[in-house]
Amino acid sequence: MKHSPNRCFKKLSAQVPSASLTKAAKNLDALRQVTGESTAIAEELNQLTHRLKSIFSGQAAAKNAQVSPALDTNFVLLQSILGNDLGLITRKYDILDGKAQAGAAYIESMTDKQLIGRHIIEPLLLGKADLNTGLDNLLTQIQEKFIFFPKIKRTNHMNQVVEGLLNGETVLFVNGLNEVLIIDSRQTEKRAIERPENEGSALAALESFTEDLDTNCSMVIKRLPTPDLRCEMFTIGRLSRTKLKLFWIEGVANTNIIAEVRRRINRIDIDNVDGIGTVAELIGDNPVSIFPTYRQTQRPDTVTKNLSQGHFALLCINSPFAFLAPVSLWDNLKTMDDYAEKAVTASYLRIVRFSALFTSIIVSPIYLAFVTYNHIIVPQSLALNIAAGREGVPFPTIVELLLMTIGMTVIREAALRIPGSVGYFVGTLSAVVIGQSAVSAGYVSPSILIVVAISEVSSFAISSTTLVYTSRLINYLFIILAGISGMFGLINGIVILFWHLSSLESFGVPYLYPLVPFELSGMKDTFIRMHLSVLKKRLKILAPSNQVRMGDGAGEPEQKKLQAGK
Protein backbone atom coordinates (compact mmCIF):
# COMPACT_ATOMS: atom_id res chain seq x y z
CA MET A 1 0.00 0.00 0.00
CA LYS A 2 1.45 3.32 -1.08
CA HIS A 3 1.18 6.49 0.98
CA SER A 4 0.72 9.77 -0.75
CA PRO A 5 3.42 12.25 0.18
CA ASN A 6 0.87 15.02 0.13
CA ARG A 7 -1.38 13.28 2.65
CA CYS A 8 -2.25 15.49 5.65
CA PHE A 9 -3.15 14.26 9.12
CA LYS A 10 -6.36 15.34 10.81
CA LYS A 11 -6.99 15.98 14.53
CA LEU A 12 -6.69 13.03 16.88
CA SER A 13 -10.18 13.62 18.21
CA ALA A 14 -11.51 13.30 14.72
CA GLN A 15 -9.86 9.91 14.23
CA VAL A 16 -10.64 8.36 17.69
CA PRO A 17 -14.14 7.06 18.31
CA SER A 18 -16.23 8.64 21.04
CA ALA A 19 -16.32 5.37 23.02
CA SER A 20 -12.55 5.38 23.30
CA LEU A 21 -12.60 8.97 24.49
CA THR A 22 -15.07 8.06 27.22
CA LYS A 23 -12.91 5.14 28.33
CA ALA A 24 -9.82 7.34 28.47
CA ALA A 25 -11.69 9.88 30.57
CA LYS A 26 -12.71 7.16 33.01
CA ASN A 27 -9.13 5.91 33.26
CA LEU A 28 -7.97 9.45 33.89
CA ASP A 29 -10.51 9.85 36.69
CA ALA A 30 -9.38 6.55 38.20
CA LEU A 31 -5.77 7.70 38.03
CA ARG A 32 -6.68 10.92 39.78
CA GLN A 33 -8.51 8.96 42.48
CA VAL A 34 -5.54 6.63 43.02
CA THR A 35 -3.22 9.63 43.19
CA GLY A 36 -5.44 11.23 45.81
CA GLU A 37 -5.58 8.02 47.84
CA SER A 38 -1.79 7.73 47.64
CA THR A 39 -1.48 11.23 49.04
CA ALA A 40 -3.83 10.33 51.89
CA ILE A 41 -1.90 7.13 52.57
CA ALA A 42 1.35 9.09 52.64
CA GLU A 43 -0.13 11.53 55.15
CA GLU A 44 -1.34 8.65 57.35
CA LEU A 45 2.09 7.00 57.20
CA ASN A 46 3.68 10.29 58.16
CA GLN A 47 1.34 10.64 61.15
CA LEU A 48 1.99 7.02 62.16
CA THR A 49 5.74 7.62 61.98
CA HIS A 50 5.42 10.63 64.27
CA ARG A 51 3.31 8.60 66.70
CA LEU A 52 5.85 5.76 66.75
CA LYS A 53 8.65 8.23 67.32
CA SER A 54 6.77 9.76 70.22
CA ILE A 55 6.14 6.32 71.71
CA PHE A 56 9.74 5.13 71.38
CA SER A 57 11.03 8.42 72.75
CA GLY A 58 8.80 8.16 75.79
CA GLN A 59 11.69 8.37 78.22
CA ALA A 60 13.00 11.51 76.54
CA ALA A 61 9.53 13.05 76.63
CA ALA A 62 9.19 12.16 80.30
CA LYS A 63 12.36 14.08 81.13
CA ASN A 64 10.77 17.30 79.91
CA ALA A 65 7.15 16.62 80.91
CA GLN A 66 5.49 18.13 83.96
CA VAL A 67 2.82 16.55 86.10
CA SER A 68 -0.61 17.55 84.81
CA PRO A 69 -3.47 18.64 87.10
CA ALA A 70 -5.70 16.12 85.26
CA LEU A 71 -5.50 12.53 86.52
CA ASP A 72 -6.39 10.97 83.17
CA THR A 73 -3.65 12.90 81.39
CA ASN A 74 -1.05 11.67 83.86
CA PHE A 75 -2.23 8.06 83.60
CA VAL A 76 -2.20 8.14 79.79
CA LEU A 77 1.31 9.58 79.82
CA LEU A 78 2.53 6.88 82.21
CA GLN A 79 0.96 4.18 80.06
CA SER A 80 2.67 5.54 76.95
CA ILE A 81 6.03 5.63 78.72
CA LEU A 82 5.92 2.33 80.61
CA GLY A 83 3.30 0.32 78.73
CA ASN A 84 1.20 -2.43 80.30
CA ASP A 85 3.69 -5.30 80.32
CA LEU A 86 5.64 -3.96 83.32
CA GLY A 87 2.57 -4.38 85.52
CA LEU A 88 1.71 -0.69 85.95
CA ILE A 89 -1.43 -0.31 88.07
CA THR A 90 -3.41 2.96 88.10
CA ARG A 91 -6.47 3.51 90.32
CA LYS A 92 -8.81 6.42 91.06
CA TYR A 93 -10.38 7.06 94.47
CA ASP A 94 -12.80 9.56 95.99
CA ILE A 95 -10.96 10.54 99.15
CA LEU A 96 -11.53 12.65 102.26
CA ASP A 97 -15.26 12.12 102.46
CA GLY A 98 -15.68 12.66 98.72
CA LYS A 99 -14.22 16.15 98.74
CA ALA A 100 -11.33 15.30 96.41
CA GLN A 101 -10.33 12.75 93.83
CA ALA A 102 -6.95 11.03 93.96
CA GLY A 103 -5.12 8.48 91.90
CA ALA A 104 -2.44 5.96 92.82
CA ALA A 105 0.09 4.44 90.45
CA TYR A 106 2.52 1.62 91.21
CA ILE A 107 4.16 -1.41 89.62
CA GLU A 108 2.47 -4.50 90.99
CA SER A 109 5.47 -6.81 91.27
CA MET A 110 7.69 -4.30 93.09
CA THR A 111 5.42 -2.89 95.78
CA ASP A 112 3.83 -4.12 98.98
CA LYS A 113 0.14 -4.03 98.05
CA GLN A 114 -1.05 -4.59 101.63
CA LEU A 115 1.05 -1.65 102.75
CA ILE A 116 -0.50 0.53 100.03
CA GLY A 117 -4.03 -0.52 100.95
CA ARG A 118 -3.76 -0.19 104.72
CA HIS A 119 -1.47 2.79 105.14
CA ILE A 120 -2.09 4.91 102.03
CA ILE A 121 -5.53 4.29 100.50
CA GLU A 122 -7.53 3.40 103.61
CA PRO A 123 -6.57 6.50 105.66
CA LEU A 124 -7.47 8.71 102.70
CA LEU A 125 -10.84 7.02 102.16
CA LEU A 126 -11.82 7.28 105.82
CA GLY A 127 -10.19 10.60 106.69
CA LYS A 128 -11.53 14.14 106.58
CA ALA A 129 -9.66 17.26 105.58
CA ASP A 130 -10.22 21.01 105.68
CA LEU A 131 -10.45 22.29 102.11
CA ASN A 132 -11.33 25.87 103.02
CA THR A 133 -7.76 26.86 102.23
CA GLY A 134 -8.06 25.35 98.77
CA LEU A 135 -6.44 22.40 97.05
CA ASP A 136 -2.97 23.90 97.21
CA ASN A 137 -2.64 22.92 100.87
CA LEU A 138 -4.16 19.46 100.42
CA LEU A 139 -0.92 17.59 99.74
CA THR A 140 0.61 19.06 102.89
CA GLN A 141 -2.39 17.90 104.95
CA ILE A 142 -2.20 14.42 103.43
CA GLN A 143 1.50 14.17 104.18
CA GLU A 144 1.18 15.45 107.76
CA LYS A 145 -2.13 13.92 108.90
CA PHE A 146 -2.90 10.79 106.90
CA ILE A 147 0.18 9.11 105.46
CA PHE A 148 2.99 8.40 107.90
CA PHE A 149 5.97 7.08 105.97
CA PRO A 150 9.63 7.81 106.68
CA LYS A 151 10.38 8.41 103.00
CA ILE A 152 7.99 10.74 101.18
CA LYS A 153 8.99 13.29 98.58
CA ARG A 154 7.07 15.80 96.48
CA THR A 155 7.71 16.58 92.85
CA ASN A 156 6.12 17.97 89.72
CA HIS A 157 8.53 16.35 87.26
CA MET A 158 7.34 13.28 85.39
CA ASN A 159 10.87 11.86 85.09
CA GLN A 160 11.06 11.59 88.89
CA VAL A 161 7.64 9.95 88.90
CA VAL A 162 8.78 7.32 86.38
CA GLU A 163 12.02 6.72 88.28
CA GLY A 164 10.09 6.27 91.53
CA LEU A 165 7.73 3.75 89.95
CA LEU A 166 10.62 1.73 88.55
CA ASN A 167 12.19 1.70 92.03
CA GLY A 168 9.06 0.18 93.57
CA GLU A 169 7.56 3.37 95.01
CA THR A 170 3.91 4.45 94.94
CA VAL A 171 2.91 7.76 93.35
CA LEU A 172 -0.14 9.59 94.71
CA PHE A 173 -1.86 12.08 92.38
CA VAL A 174 -4.59 14.53 93.40
CA ASN A 175 -6.96 15.77 90.71
CA GLY A 176 -6.44 19.50 90.20
CA LEU A 177 -2.86 19.58 91.50
CA ASN A 178 0.30 19.48 89.42
CA GLU A 179 2.34 18.00 92.28
CA VAL A 180 2.50 14.40 93.50
CA LEU A 181 3.69 12.45 96.51
CA ILE A 182 6.22 9.66 95.91
CA ILE A 183 5.93 7.17 98.78
CA ASP A 184 8.42 4.43 99.56
CA SER A 185 6.38 1.21 99.47
CA ARG A 186 9.01 -1.11 98.04
CA GLN A 187 8.79 -4.84 98.52
CA THR A 188 12.24 -6.36 98.16
CA GLU A 189 13.56 -9.77 99.08
CA LYS A 190 16.69 -9.38 101.21
CA ARG A 191 19.35 -11.96 101.82
CA ALA A 192 20.31 -12.40 105.45
CA ILE A 193 23.69 -11.16 106.64
CA GLU A 194 26.08 -14.10 106.44
CA ARG A 195 29.73 -14.94 106.95
CA PRO A 196 32.10 -13.60 104.28
CA GLU A 197 32.81 -16.47 101.90
CA ASN A 198 35.95 -15.10 100.25
CA GLU A 199 37.53 -13.37 103.26
CA GLY A 200 37.38 -15.75 106.16
CA SER A 201 38.57 -14.65 109.57
CA ALA A 202 39.64 -16.30 112.81
CA LEU A 203 39.12 -13.41 115.25
CA ALA A 204 37.49 -10.53 113.34
CA ALA A 205 33.78 -9.91 112.76
CA LEU A 206 31.76 -12.49 110.81
CA GLU A 207 29.48 -10.14 108.88
CA SER A 208 29.51 -9.54 105.15
CA PHE A 209 27.70 -7.22 102.77
CA THR A 210 24.52 -8.27 100.96
CA GLU A 211 22.89 -7.17 97.71
CA ASP A 212 20.70 -4.62 99.52
CA LEU A 213 22.22 -1.13 99.48
CA ASP A 214 20.37 0.13 102.57
CA THR A 215 21.53 -2.86 104.62
CA ASN A 216 25.13 -2.33 103.53
CA CYS A 217 24.99 1.37 104.37
CA SER A 218 23.58 0.63 107.82
CA MET A 219 26.48 -1.73 108.57
CA VAL A 220 28.97 1.00 107.67
CA ILE A 221 27.18 3.68 109.70
CA LYS A 222 26.85 1.31 112.67
CA ARG A 223 30.63 0.96 112.82
CA LEU A 224 31.36 4.66 112.25
CA PRO A 225 28.62 6.61 114.08
CA THR A 226 30.31 9.97 113.58
CA PRO A 227 28.83 13.15 112.08
CA ASP A 228 31.99 13.43 109.97
CA LEU A 229 30.99 10.38 107.93
CA ARG A 230 29.82 11.61 104.53
CA CYS A 231 27.69 9.79 101.97
CA GLU A 232 26.85 10.94 98.44
CA MET A 233 24.54 9.05 96.09
CA PHE A 234 24.86 8.79 92.31
CA THR A 235 22.58 7.25 89.70
CA ILE A 236 24.48 5.68 86.81
CA GLY A 237 23.44 3.59 83.81
CA ARG A 238 21.09 4.92 81.15
CA LEU A 239 18.87 1.83 81.40
CA SER A 240 19.68 0.25 84.76
CA ARG A 241 19.56 3.52 86.77
CA THR A 242 21.88 1.90 89.31
CA LYS A 243 22.26 3.51 92.73
CA LEU A 244 25.85 4.08 93.84
CA LYS A 245 26.95 5.58 97.17
CA LEU A 246 30.29 7.22 97.91
CA PHE A 247 31.53 7.17 101.52
CA TRP A 248 34.37 9.15 103.06
CA ILE A 249 35.19 10.88 106.36
CA GLU A 250 35.18 14.65 106.28
CA GLY A 251 38.37 16.08 107.74
CA VAL A 252 40.29 12.85 107.12
CA ALA A 253 40.04 12.03 103.42
CA ASN A 254 41.89 14.12 100.87
CA THR A 255 39.40 16.52 99.27
CA ASN A 256 41.24 16.40 95.93
CA ILE A 257 40.84 12.63 95.77
CA ILE A 258 37.12 12.89 96.56
CA ALA A 259 36.70 15.49 93.82
CA GLU A 260 38.49 13.19 91.36
CA VAL A 261 36.19 10.31 92.31
CA ARG A 262 33.13 12.47 91.66
CA ARG A 263 34.52 13.48 88.29
CA ARG A 264 35.14 9.89 87.22
CA ILE A 265 31.71 8.72 88.38
CA ASN A 266 29.91 11.55 86.61
CA ARG A 267 31.83 10.67 83.45
CA ILE A 268 30.32 7.15 83.34
CA ASP A 269 27.99 6.81 80.34
CA ILE A 270 26.83 3.23 79.86
CA ASP A 271 23.51 1.45 79.40
CA ASN A 272 23.71 -1.11 82.19
CA VAL A 273 25.75 -1.29 85.40
CA ASP A 274 25.76 -4.88 86.68
CA GLY A 275 27.57 -4.22 89.93
CA ILE A 276 30.61 -2.75 91.61
CA GLY A 277 32.89 -4.61 89.18
CA THR A 278 31.59 -2.53 86.28
CA VAL A 279 32.17 0.66 88.25
CA ALA A 280 35.68 -0.44 89.21
CA GLU A 281 36.59 -1.11 85.59
CA LEU A 282 35.24 2.26 84.44
CA ILE A 283 36.81 4.50 87.09
CA GLY A 284 39.93 2.56 88.04
CA ASP A 285 43.43 3.57 87.01
CA ASN A 286 45.54 1.77 84.40
CA PRO A 287 42.78 -0.27 82.68
CA VAL A 288 45.32 -2.22 80.61
CA SER A 289 47.17 -3.57 83.65
CA ILE A 290 46.20 -6.94 85.11
CA PHE A 291 46.89 -5.67 88.63
CA PRO A 292 43.93 -4.33 90.64
CA THR A 293 44.58 -0.68 91.52
CA TYR A 294 41.63 -0.85 93.89
CA ARG A 295 40.35 -3.31 96.44
CA GLN A 296 37.05 -5.18 96.53
CA THR A 297 35.90 -6.52 99.86
CA GLN A 298 32.87 -8.22 101.38
CA ARG A 299 33.67 -7.07 104.90
CA PRO A 300 32.12 -3.94 106.48
CA ASP A 301 34.92 -3.78 109.07
CA THR A 302 37.51 -3.61 106.28
CA VAL A 303 35.60 -0.70 104.76
CA THR A 304 35.39 1.26 108.00
CA LYS A 305 39.05 0.55 108.79
CA ASN A 306 40.08 2.03 105.43
CA LEU A 307 37.69 4.98 105.76
CA SER A 308 39.28 5.92 109.08
CA GLN A 309 42.70 5.89 107.40
CA GLY A 310 41.71 8.36 104.69
CA HIS A 311 40.49 6.10 101.90
CA PHE A 312 37.05 6.26 100.26
CA ALA A 313 34.51 3.49 99.61
CA LEU A 314 31.85 2.87 96.98
CA LEU A 315 28.77 0.73 97.61
CA CYS A 316 26.52 -0.34 94.74
CA ILE A 317 22.99 -1.71 94.81
CA ASN A 318 22.70 -5.42 93.93
CA SER A 319 26.38 -5.98 94.74
CA PRO A 320 27.74 -7.61 97.93
CA PHE A 321 31.17 -6.05 97.45
CA ALA A 322 32.60 -2.63 98.27
CA PHE A 323 35.17 -0.70 96.25
CA LEU A 324 38.11 0.76 98.19
CA ALA A 325 40.76 3.20 96.95
CA PRO A 326 43.43 4.53 96.89
CA VAL A 327 45.31 1.32 97.66
CA SER A 328 48.77 -0.13 97.21
CA LEU A 329 49.70 -3.66 96.22
CA TRP A 330 50.34 -4.48 99.88
CA ASP A 331 46.82 -3.40 100.93
CA ASN A 332 45.39 -6.33 98.98
CA LEU A 333 47.33 -8.69 101.26
CA LYS A 334 46.09 -7.27 104.56
CA THR A 335 43.26 -8.80 106.58
CA MET A 336 41.29 -7.73 109.62
CA ASP A 337 42.94 -10.52 111.61
CA ASP A 338 46.12 -8.43 111.43
CA TYR A 339 44.48 -5.97 113.83
CA ALA A 340 42.78 -8.59 116.00
CA GLU A 341 46.03 -10.40 116.84
CA LYS A 342 49.05 -9.12 118.72
CA ALA A 343 51.60 -7.24 116.64
CA VAL A 344 54.15 -10.09 116.55
CA THR A 345 51.59 -12.69 115.50
CA ALA A 346 50.05 -10.33 112.95
CA SER A 347 53.47 -9.58 111.46
CA TYR A 348 54.24 -13.28 111.19
CA LEU A 349 50.95 -14.01 109.40
CA ARG A 350 51.43 -11.06 107.07
CA ILE A 351 54.92 -12.27 106.11
CA VAL A 352 53.41 -15.70 105.42
CA ARG A 353 50.89 -14.15 103.02
CA PHE A 354 53.57 -12.13 101.22
CA SER A 355 55.67 -15.28 100.91
CA ALA A 356 52.65 -17.19 99.59
CA LEU A 357 52.15 -14.59 96.84
CA PHE A 358 55.79 -14.86 95.83
CA THR A 359 55.70 -18.67 95.96
CA SER A 360 52.55 -18.98 93.86
CA ILE A 361 54.20 -16.91 91.12
CA ILE A 362 57.83 -18.06 91.13
CA VAL A 363 58.10 -21.73 92.25
CA SER A 364 56.98 -23.33 88.98
CA PRO A 365 59.14 -21.13 86.70
CA ILE A 366 62.23 -21.66 88.90
CA TYR A 367 61.77 -25.43 88.78
CA LEU A 368 61.39 -25.30 84.99
CA ALA A 369 64.49 -23.11 84.59
CA PHE A 370 66.61 -25.40 86.79
CA VAL A 371 65.49 -28.60 85.10
CA THR A 372 65.62 -27.32 81.52
CA TYR A 373 68.61 -24.95 81.36
CA ASN A 374 70.41 -24.34 84.65
CA HIS A 375 71.24 -27.93 85.68
CA ILE A 376 74.45 -26.93 87.40
CA ILE A 377 72.56 -25.11 90.16
CA VAL A 378 70.63 -28.24 91.15
CA PRO A 379 72.38 -30.59 93.64
CA GLN A 380 73.42 -33.85 92.02
CA SER A 381 71.28 -36.10 94.23
CA LEU A 382 68.19 -33.99 93.60
CA ALA A 383 68.90 -33.89 89.87
CA LEU A 384 69.15 -37.70 89.77
CA ASN A 385 65.82 -38.06 91.59
CA ILE A 386 64.12 -35.63 89.20
CA ALA A 387 65.59 -37.45 86.18
CA ALA A 388 64.42 -40.82 87.54
CA GLY A 389 60.91 -39.45 88.05
CA ARG A 390 60.79 -38.13 84.49
CA GLU A 391 61.75 -41.45 82.95
CA GLY A 392 59.04 -42.51 80.53
CA VAL A 393 57.18 -39.16 80.54
CA PRO A 394 56.25 -38.40 76.89
CA PHE A 395 56.03 -34.60 77.21
CA PRO A 396 58.68 -31.89 77.52
CA THR A 397 58.91 -30.33 80.96
CA ILE A 398 57.29 -27.04 79.92
CA VAL A 399 54.31 -28.83 78.34
CA GLU A 400 54.01 -31.07 81.38
CA LEU A 401 54.07 -28.08 83.73
CA LEU A 402 51.56 -26.04 81.73
CA LEU A 403 49.12 -28.96 81.44
CA MET A 404 49.19 -29.63 85.17
CA THR A 405 48.87 -25.93 86.06
CA ILE A 406 45.91 -25.49 83.72
CA GLY A 407 44.35 -28.69 85.04
CA MET A 408 44.60 -27.50 88.64
CA THR A 409 43.05 -24.17 87.68
CA VAL A 410 40.15 -25.96 85.96
CA ILE A 411 39.56 -28.12 89.05
CA ARG A 412 39.61 -25.08 91.30
CA GLU A 413 37.14 -23.18 89.11
CA ALA A 414 34.85 -26.22 88.89
CA ALA A 415 34.87 -26.58 92.67
CA LEU A 416 34.02 -22.91 93.00
CA ARG A 417 30.92 -23.31 90.81
CA ILE A 418 29.59 -26.34 92.70
CA PRO A 419 27.18 -25.07 95.39
CA GLY A 420 27.81 -25.48 99.08
CA SER A 421 30.62 -27.28 100.84
CA VAL A 422 30.41 -30.13 98.34
CA GLY A 423 32.49 -28.06 95.93
CA TYR A 424 35.54 -28.01 98.19
CA PHE A 425 35.30 -31.76 98.78
CA VAL A 426 34.91 -32.48 95.05
CA GLY A 427 37.80 -30.15 94.19
CA THR A 428 40.17 -31.73 96.70
CA LEU A 429 39.18 -35.27 95.75
CA SER A 430 39.50 -34.53 92.03
CA ALA A 431 42.96 -33.02 92.45
CA VAL A 432 44.20 -36.01 94.46
CA VAL A 433 42.69 -38.66 92.16
CA ILE A 434 43.69 -36.99 88.89
CA GLY A 435 47.20 -36.18 90.10
CA GLN A 436 47.85 -39.68 91.41
CA SER A 437 46.42 -41.26 88.27
CA ALA A 438 48.54 -39.04 86.01
CA VAL A 439 51.71 -39.99 87.89
CA SER A 440 50.84 -43.70 87.90
CA ALA A 441 50.13 -43.63 84.16
CA GLY A 442 53.46 -41.96 83.48
CA TYR A 443 52.01 -38.80 81.94
CA VAL A 444 53.64 -36.48 84.50
CA SER A 445 56.51 -36.79 86.93
CA PRO A 446 56.00 -36.70 90.73
CA SER A 447 58.17 -33.60 91.08
CA ILE A 448 55.92 -31.64 88.69
CA LEU A 449 52.89 -32.61 90.75
CA ILE A 450 54.58 -31.42 93.94
CA VAL A 451 55.62 -28.08 92.41
CA VAL A 452 52.16 -27.37 91.00
CA ALA A 453 50.51 -28.34 94.30
CA ILE A 454 52.80 -25.97 96.24
CA SER A 455 51.96 -23.15 93.85
CA GLU A 456 48.20 -23.76 94.06
CA VAL A 457 48.11 -24.13 97.85
CA SER A 458 50.12 -20.92 98.23
CA SER A 459 47.53 -19.00 96.22
CA PHE A 460 44.88 -19.93 98.81
CA ALA A 461 46.72 -17.80 101.38
CA ILE A 462 46.25 -14.63 99.30
CA SER A 463 43.39 -12.64 100.82
CA SER A 464 42.35 -10.81 97.63
CA THR A 465 40.48 -12.88 95.04
CA THR A 466 41.41 -10.44 92.28
CA LEU A 467 45.09 -10.71 93.18
CA VAL A 468 44.83 -14.52 93.06
CA TYR A 469 43.82 -14.40 89.39
CA THR A 470 46.58 -11.88 88.72
CA SER A 471 49.19 -14.17 90.28
CA ARG A 472 48.03 -17.07 88.07
CA LEU A 473 48.42 -15.02 84.90
CA ILE A 474 51.92 -13.92 85.92
CA ASN A 475 52.74 -17.54 86.74
CA TYR A 476 51.85 -18.60 83.18
CA LEU A 477 53.94 -15.77 81.74
CA PHE A 478 56.96 -16.64 83.86
CA ILE A 479 56.66 -20.34 82.95
CA ILE A 480 56.85 -19.41 79.25
CA LEU A 481 59.85 -17.11 79.83
CA ALA A 482 61.66 -19.76 81.89
CA GLY A 483 60.91 -22.38 79.24
CA ILE A 484 62.39 -20.16 76.52
CA SER A 485 65.61 -18.96 78.17
CA GLY A 486 65.81 -20.34 81.70
CA MET A 487 66.87 -18.10 84.59
CA PHE A 488 67.85 -15.34 82.17
CA GLY A 489 64.28 -15.05 80.89
CA LEU A 490 62.83 -15.36 84.39
CA ILE A 491 65.04 -12.57 85.79
CA ASN A 492 64.14 -10.34 82.86
CA GLY A 493 60.48 -11.04 83.51
CA ILE A 494 60.86 -10.08 87.19
CA VAL A 495 62.61 -6.83 86.25
CA ILE A 496 59.88 -5.93 83.74
CA LEU A 497 57.21 -6.80 86.32
CA PHE A 498 58.83 -4.56 88.94
CA TRP A 499 59.11 -1.73 86.41
CA HIS A 500 55.44 -2.12 85.52
CA LEU A 501 54.37 -2.10 89.17
CA SER A 502 56.47 1.01 89.80
CA SER A 503 54.60 2.85 87.05
CA LEU A 504 51.12 2.11 88.43
CA GLU A 505 49.07 4.50 90.53
CA SER A 506 45.79 4.34 92.39
CA PHE A 507 44.09 7.74 92.38
CA GLY A 508 47.47 9.44 92.49
CA VAL A 509 49.04 7.10 95.07
CA PRO A 510 52.06 5.02 93.89
CA TYR A 511 51.13 1.34 93.74
CA LEU A 512 54.32 0.13 95.46
CA TYR A 513 54.28 2.74 98.24
CA PRO A 514 56.07 2.80 100.72
CA LEU A 515 58.67 0.73 98.84
CA VAL A 516 58.62 2.97 95.75
CA PRO A 517 58.98 5.79 96.65
CA PHE A 518 60.68 4.57 99.78
CA GLU A 519 59.36 5.99 103.05
CA LEU A 520 60.40 4.47 106.35
CA SER A 521 57.38 5.74 108.29
CA GLY A 522 55.07 3.93 105.87
CA MET A 523 56.76 0.61 106.60
CA LYS A 524 55.24 0.44 110.08
CA ASP A 525 52.07 -1.20 108.75
CA THR A 526 53.09 -2.76 105.45
CA PHE A 527 55.26 -5.88 105.47
CA ILE A 528 54.91 -6.13 109.24
CA ARG A 529 52.49 -4.56 111.71
CA MET A 530 54.10 -2.72 114.56
CA HIS A 531 52.41 -2.10 117.91
CA LEU A 532 49.38 0.17 117.72
CA SER A 533 51.10 2.70 119.96
CA VAL A 534 53.55 3.33 117.10
CA LEU A 535 50.82 3.78 114.47
CA LYS A 536 49.75 7.23 115.62
CA LYS A 537 49.65 8.94 112.24
CA ARG A 538 48.00 8.22 108.94
CA LEU A 539 50.01 7.67 105.77
CA LYS A 540 51.50 10.87 104.40
CA ILE A 541 51.09 9.73 100.80
CA LEU A 542 47.30 10.02 101.10
CA ALA A 543 47.71 13.67 102.17
CA PRO A 544 44.88 13.35 104.71
CA SER A 545 43.32 16.49 106.12
CA ASN A 546 44.08 15.17 109.61
CA GLN A 547 47.20 13.00 109.93
CA VAL A 548 46.85 12.22 113.64
CA ARG A 549 44.87 9.05 114.37
CA MET A 550 45.97 8.47 117.98
CA GLY A 551 46.86 10.73 120.88
CA ASP A 552 50.34 10.87 122.40
CA GLY A 553 49.36 9.02 125.56
CA ALA A 554 47.14 6.45 123.88
CA GLY A 555 48.50 2.97 123.34
CA GLU A 556 51.37 3.34 125.82
CA PRO A 557 52.12 -0.06 127.39
CA GLU A 558 50.44 -0.39 130.77
CA GLN A 559 53.58 -1.80 132.41
CA LYS A 560 55.42 1.47 131.80
CA LYS A 561 52.52 3.43 133.27
CA LEU A 562 52.56 1.27 136.40
CA GLN A 563 56.29 1.72 136.83
CA ALA A 564 55.94 5.46 136.35
CA GLY A 565 53.23 5.47 139.00
CA LYS A 566 55.53 3.80 141.51
Average of pLDDT values for 211-230? 92
- The residue extents of the domains of the chain are 26-56, 65-183, 213-327, 341-510
Pairing of strands 152-155, 170-174: unpaired
Residues 6+ apart with CB under 8 A from 345: none
Band of pLDDT at residue 505, cut at 50, 70 and 90: very high
Average of pLDDT values for 475-488? 94
Report how far apart, in Å, the C-alpha atoms of 412 and of each of 458, 470, 546 are: 13, 15, 44
Q: Which one, of 239, 241, 217, 319, lies nearest residue 277 by Cα? A: 319
| Residue 496 clears pLDDT 90, i.e. is over it | yes
| Residue 564 clears pLDDT 50, i.e. is over it | no
Name the residue with higher pLDDT: 387 or 116.
Answer: 116
213 DSSP β-pair partners: none
| Residue 566 clears pLDDT 50, i.e. is over it | no
| Residue 301 clears pLDDT 90, i.e. is over it | yes
Q: Cα dihedral angle (12, 16, 18, 21), rounded to 10 degrees?
A: -70
pTM above 0.75, yes or no: yes
pLDDT in tens, 151-195: 889 999 988 898 889 888 999 999 988 999 999 888 777 788 888
Q: What is 443-480 written as a DSSP string? A: SS-HHHHHHHHHHHHHHTT-S-HHHHHHHHHHHHHHHH
pLDDT in tens, 68-93: 889 989 898 888 888 767 788 899 99
**What is the pLDDT at residue 343?**
92
Pairing of strands 229-236, 242-249: antiparallel
* Burial (CB count within 10 angstroms: exposed 0-12, middle 13-18, buried 19+), residue 256: exposed
The torsion angles phi and psi of 249, rounded to 5 degrees, stand at -110, 120
Band of pLDDT at residue 139, cut at 50, 70 and 90: confident
* Burial (CB count within 10 angstroms: exposed 0-12, middle 13-18, buried 19+), residue 388: exposed
The torsion angles phi and psi of 299, rounded to 5 degrees, stand at -100, 125
What whole-number distance in Å separates Cα of residue 20 and Cα of residue 311? 95
Percent of the chain whose predicted confidence (pLDDT) is above 90: 40
Average of pLDDT values for 354-376? 91
Band of pLDDT at residue 114, cut at 50, 70 and 90: confident
**What is the pLDDT at residue 303?**
95
CA angle 457, 459, 460 (to 5 degrees): 70
Residues 6+ apart with CB under 8 A from 142: 124, 129, 172, 174, 181
Name the residue with higher pLDDT: 283 or 374.
Answer: 283
Band of pLDDT at residue 47, cut at 50, 70 and 90: low
Average of pLDDT values for 49-61? 53
What whole-number distance in Å separates Cα of residue 262 and Cα of residue 234? 9
Average of pLDDT values for 105-129? 86
Percent of the chain whose predicted confidence (pLDDT) is above 70: 83
What whole-number distance in Å separates Cα of residue 250 and Cα of residue 258? 10
**What is the pLDDT at residue 22?**
67
Average of pLDDT values for 37-65? 59
Average of pLDDT values for 443-457? 89
